[in-house]
Structure 1
C-alpha cells in the first residue's frame, strides 16, 4: 500500500502523520524530537524509511483532524504557467510554445489543506481553479542536470492553484497579486513518496467542479517535463528540501469559458491524479465580521 504522509491539526496543535486503512499514526509523537515536521523528515531523507518502518497505530481518525498543507513551511513555492499545449493555444496570440517555462512565486498563506474551504475575497468575484501536480524537493541542488533532476524529488502531491483572475492583470507584467490572495488555493491531501520516473511519466490529471469534468490531460503531454522544470529553476536558485514546485495546469479553467464561469460559494472542486488521490475543497465568501 502506498504511504500517505499528511500534516494535520488536532485541537489547534499541528502534527504530521501517516494515513493508513485503519486511521492515522501520529508520527510527530513518535519522531517529533528528531524531525519536528515533514520538511525536516524530507531533509533527513527519512520519508521512505518511515513509509516502511513506522508502526500503523491508530492515534486519530481521519474525520477528527483538520488537514493542513503537507509542507507548512517551505522555503519556496514556485509555480509553472502555460505547461500544456492546449493551454498555450488558449492565449490566441499566435505564438509557439516558449522555449523556457514561465514562473511565478506563491506564499504558503495563499493555500489551505484538503477539505478546507477556499476563500473568495470581497475584492473580486473572479475566483478560478487550476488543477496541478506538485513536486516536493528532497535533496538540495544548484544547476541540476536534467539527467539527474529526478534524484532531487522526494514526494508528490496535488494543487488547486486558485487564482483571482482580474488581479493577475493589475500591473503590466506580473501575476503575483492574483496568485496570492490568502486561502484561495489548496495543496494536498498528502505526500506520496517518489519512487521512479514511471510513477510520473504519464499521469492522468483532472479537475472536477460540482462533479463536472472541467480539466483533463496527461503529464506525457506537458510542454516542459518535470526534469526540465527542475533543471531550469535550479539554474538561478538553489533548490532545497521541502521546496514545492507546482508544475502547470491543463486547459479548461473557468476563465476560458464564454462567458467565464467563476467559482461561487458552495462549489466543490476536486483535483484528481493517478496514484496521488483526490484534493477536495469547497468555496465560501470571506467572513469580514
Structure 2
C-alpha cells in the first residue's frame, strides 16, 4: 500500500492542497479550506492523517498532469538547511579535519524554491548551478529545548529537497554561504509530504540523486553524522521550532562540484531525487530570462 501523500498545487490560478493518489488528486482544500487554509494549518492542527484518510474516500478531482506542483508548505516560518552531514561528504573537503563537532547550517528563503516538475533557473550571474539531494523533515509540534528522546514526536511529515547551489557564490565571503544558496528558483521541494508515523520511515532509508538518468548521489540516512533526533534537539536550543518549519538534513557525496572537471547543471538537464517511502522529486533546468 502506497504511503499517504498530501500536496500543495495550483490549478486555474488558484492554490489548493489535496491527497495524491495514483489516479489523481483529491481536492481537500475545497472540503476543509475554511478550517485549514493551507497544509501549514493542517499540520499545526495535527490533522494530516485525518485529511489523508478523508482523501482515500473520494474520487480524484484533478488529473496529475492538470496541476502545477508547488512546494508543499506555503510560507514556512523557517527553512533550515544542514551542511556536510554525511561521512563521505566531510571527506570530500580534503582538509584533513575530522567530522565536525557541531552541524553546519544556513537559512533559505521560500522564494529560492520551486515545486516538483518546475524548472530550476540557472541565473545570469553564474553558470555553476549544482544539485544536492536531501531528505526533509517538516515540524508538526512546536518546541524549544526539545530532548533527543522526544525529538521525533515533533515531526509531522517528510519530503524531499533539491538544495540547488551556486558554487562560486557560496565562496564570495569568508564565513557565510547565504548568497549562493538563495538565488530565486534554484532549488526545489516536494513533490508532496508523507505523514510521519514511525521512526523506520526515516531511520535508514536510501537517498539517491540522478542527473539525466545517471546516479550521482547514493547513500542512506542511517549514516548521517548528525541524526534526526540530534538535529531537532540542537536546533531547538537556539530557536523555537514551530509547525511547518522545514529542516533540510544534508546531502550525500557526489554533487557536481566534486567531479574533475565539475559537472554543473545546464539547460535541458533533468534531476531526480528519490527516497524510499517518500517518492521522486523531478526538475528540469532553464536559463534565467
Q: TM-score range by the shorter chain?
A: over 0.9
- What's the counterpart of residue 13 of structure 2? 12
Deviation at 1:53, TM superposition (A): 2.9
**Offset of residue 99 of structure 1:** 1.4
Unaligned runs of 5+ in 1: none
**Given that residues 170 and 180 in structure 2 are in contact (C-alpha distance below 8 angstroms), is that contact kept between their aligned partners in structure 1?**
yes
SS of 1:158 mapped into structure 2: strand
- Give SS of 1:148's match: helix
**Alignment partner, residue 265 of structure 1:** 267
Q: Conserved in 2, the CA contact under 8 Å of 1:69 and 1:187?
A: yes
Shift of 1:57: 2.5
Q: Distance in 2 between matches of 1:195 and 1:245?
A: 17
Cα offset, 1:22, TM superposition = 2.2
Report 1:239-258 matches (<5 A).
Answer: 239-258=241-260
Deviations 1:127-186 (A, max 9, x none): 000000000000000010110000000000000000000000111100000000000000
Q: 1:109 aligns with which of 108, 111, 121?
A: 111
Structure 1 segments of 4+ aligned residues over 2 angstroms from their partners: 53-57
- TM-score, L = length of structure 1: 0.98
Distance across 2 between alignment mates of 1:21 and 1:104: 36
The structural deviation recorded for 1:11 is 1.2
Give the structure 2 partner of residue 229 of structure 1.
Answer: 231
Q: Secondary structure at the match of 1:147?
A: helix
Cα distance in 2 for residues equivalent to 1:200 and 1:21: 23
Partner of 2:35: 34
Question: 1:84 aligned to 75, 83, 86, which one?
Answer: 86
Superposition deviation, residue 12 in structure 1: 1.2
> Who is 2:52 aligned against?
51
RMSD: 0.7
Question: 1:35 and 1:51 mapped to 2: Cα distance?
Answer: 14
Cα deviation per residue 1:1-50 (whole Å; 9 max; x = unaligned)?
31110000011111000011221111110000000000000000000111
Q: Distance in 1 between matches of 2:3 and 2:86?
A: 28
Residues 20 and 56, structure 1, Cα contact 8 Å, conserved in 2: no
- Corresponding residue for residue 283 of structure 1: 285
CA contact (8 A) 1:150 1:197 kept: yes
Number of equivalences: 287
Q: TM-score w.r.t. structure 2 length?
A: 0.98
Deviations 1:54-88 (Å, cap 9, x if unpaired)?
33222111100000000011000000000000000
